[in-house]
Amino acid sequence: MQTQRTEQDVTVLNDVAEIPGLGFLPVNAFVIHAEQPVVVDTGLSTDDKDFVSWLGQVIDPADVRWIWLTHPDRDHTGGLYDLLEAAPQARVVTTFIGVGILSTERPLPMDRVYLLNPGQQLDVGDRVLSGLRPPLFDNPATVGVVDHHTGALFSSDCFGAPLPTAEHALGGDVHAVAADDLRAGQLLWAGVDSPWVHQVDPTRYRATVDPIRRLDPSTIYSTHLPPARGVNATLLEMLHEAPDSPPFVGPDQAALEAMLAQFEPEQPVGV
């Protein structure tokens, strides 16, 4: 876990999850240092994570005014309820569906909720943020963030990629990743995270890329990729290619047993 302050009033809170057989997946949360500070997602949900303490290295949690959940999956909500306690003024930006999904585990206090759909805006004092549905997503509540002050796009899972090493995943710039590794990882992630992309009408799907092309983000901040600046054309080309890429097929039971056998201790001779 580490932090990185960028030139765009953004701090990246960067973590990593190893996915056996696939690589190392970045898991980022973000702080937008607006007049009314915004936390975008709240990290992994494993027991060894303390998101609020980690966030406290960057900003006093009590100063947080908005917690924008790009969607309520467990790698985005790890510190949510602890942060709500530590940030008594904060409200959770999500959708009606997002509230419903979260309530199956632990209900949100409805007076702390702000419902926002794609295309709607949120005034955070010195800037306006807009909701945007990214072309690739794995949850119906997904709403990314456009910062109209800096031109940055927070794209949720879209553009993510398992990377060859933890160092790549924790890196501060996507340019450190070899182009071939980036393209392969992103197309793999498209099939893993958004398998429906292989079943939709490619023309209608590719039309959903156009809003990002028109936006031409100054930086793309994906939950699952190092910050990406100056590579919009490359990333959008990957989105166009996704429907025609090979579908992901995970290991079956025989493959799992073969992997587990590699870790079984050898029996002593004569036993």
Q: Is residue 83 part of a domain?
A: yes
List the CATH number of the domain containing 254: 3.60.15.10
Instruction: Quick: pLDDT tens for 35-86.
Output: 999 999 999 988 888 999 999 999 999 999 999 999 999 999 999 999 999 9
pLDDT at residue number 266: 60
Any domain includes 106: yes
- Within a domain: 269: no
- Domain hosting residue 254, numbered range: 2-261
Residue 267 maps to a domain:
no
Q: What is the pLDDT of residue 265?
A: 67
Q: What is the mean pLDDT of residues 130-144?
A: 97
Is the confidence at residue 2, as pLDDT, over 90?
A: no
pLDDT above 80 (res 263): no
Q: How many domains in the chain?
A: 1
Instruction: Give the pLDDT mean for 250-260.
Output: 91
In a domain, 270, yes or no: no
To the question of pTM greater than 0.85 for the whole model, the response is yes
**How do residues 223-236 score in pLDDT, each as one tens digit?**
999 999 999 999 99
Of the pLDDT bands very low, low, confident and very high (cuts 50, 70, 90), residue 3 is confident
Residue 54 lies in a domain: yes
Do the domain assignments include residue 126? yes
Tell whether 271 is covered by a domain: no
Rounded to whole angstroms, how far apart are CA atoms 98 and 141?
A: 5
pLDDT confidence of residue 193: 96
The yes-or-no verdict on residue 271 having pLDDT over 60 is no
Q: How far apart are CA 191 and CA 242, in angstroms?
A: 8
What is the DSSP code string of 149-178? Answer: TTTEEE-TTTT---BSSHHHHT-S-GGGS-
